[in-house]
Amino acid sequence: MPLFLLDAFGSASIGVFMRVTEKIVIVPNQFPESIVKKIESWFKLPVVRTNIGGSVLIGSLICANSYGIVLPHFVREEELTAIKSLGGDINIAIMEESKKTAFGNLVLANDYGAIADPRLKRSEIKIISDTLGVDVAQGEIAGLPYVGALAVATNKGVLAHPLLKPEEERVLSEVLKVQVNVGTVNCGIPYVGTGLAGNTRVAVVGSLTTGPELFIIGQALKVVGEE
């Protein structure tokens, strides 16, 4: 079953430390080699090791899908070089004019669409849309604006905060073009983006996540039973 438990730096909030797409996995330089090897074996994708502005909070700071990566203004030159080492035709945008930094928390994206914090400016939304190559709608989850921390989206499904409202669910489903479910991670934490990372084939979840939570996650992201 391609659904794995993991912690890092003594924390089960694994989602704040890594960003996963269909093409790459980005993790902090400080991840132990043992964890990196596990991630490589699970995802079978290129793993880029870098920090963002010296921070290990990759998942919180980076928004990404298969087409692009959105970075905060304080990304360092050597960190940008590490990301560019991926090569290929992926778009990279640095949000130079934005005071916002935690784009992983502010944007929920897959390869079909994106939902963004309603407080982001129109100019910021345009850059995000152009970089990720998808339409971006602004909305909330459970009445809260930091949508990237409140849900995880792949090209097969969305797992969102359990207090997701019906009208919010409709927007998520229409924009991201996948089925939306609700659940928690790490024994009841509703901010599922903090404790979960994955793509259409594999999901990694915090080590405190319970069996019933794992079942819901596997069903929501449709990774259970997949090869």
Q: Are 72 and 101 in contact (CB under 8 A)?
A: yes
Q: Report which DSSP code applies to 55.
A: B
Residue 89 has a pLDDT of: 83
Residue 43's pLDDT is what?
Answer: 96
pLDDT tens across 166-187, in order?
A: 999 999 999 999 999 999 999 9
Instruction: Categorize the per-residue pLDDT at 227 as very low, low, confident or very high, splitting at 50, 70 and 90.
Output: very low
Confirm if 136 and 114 have CB atoms less than 8 A apart: yes
- What is the model's pLDDT at position 226? 44
**Which phi and psi (to 5°) does residue 28 adopt?**
-70, 155
Q: Could you give the count of Cα atoms lying within 13 Å of 78 in the half-sphere of its Cβ?
A: 6
> Considering only CA atoms, which of 29, 2, 26 is closest in space to residue 15?
26
In angstroms, the CA 159 to CA 176 distance is 12
Q: What is the dihedral of CA 33, 213, 109, 137, to 10 degrees?
A: -160
pLDDT tens for residues 134-177? 999 999 999 999 999 999 999 999 999 999 999 999 999 999 99
User: Which superfamily does CATH assign the domain made up of 3-221 to?
Assistant: L-arginine/glycine Amidinotransferase; Chain A (3.75.10.10)
**CA nearest to 61, candidates 13, 119, 20, 102:** 102
Q: Do the strands 68-72 and 63-64 form a parallel or antiparallel pair, or are they unpaired? A: antiparallel
Indicate the domain borders of the chain. Answer: 3-221
- Beta-carbon contacts of 166 under 8 Å, excluding residues fewer than 6 positions away, are none
Nearest in space to 122 (alpha carbons), one of 105, 136, 104? 136
pLDDT digits (tens, 9 = 90+) for 75-125: 999 999 999 988 778 999 999 999 999 999 999 999 999 999 999 999 999
Contact between 158 and 24 under an 8 Å Cβ cutoff? The reply is no
Condensed to tens digits (0 to 9), the pLDDT of residues 187-205 reads: 999 999 999 999 999 999 9
User: Residue length, the chain?
Assistant: 227
Q: How confident is the model at residue 224 (pLDDT cuts 50, 70, 90)?
A: confident
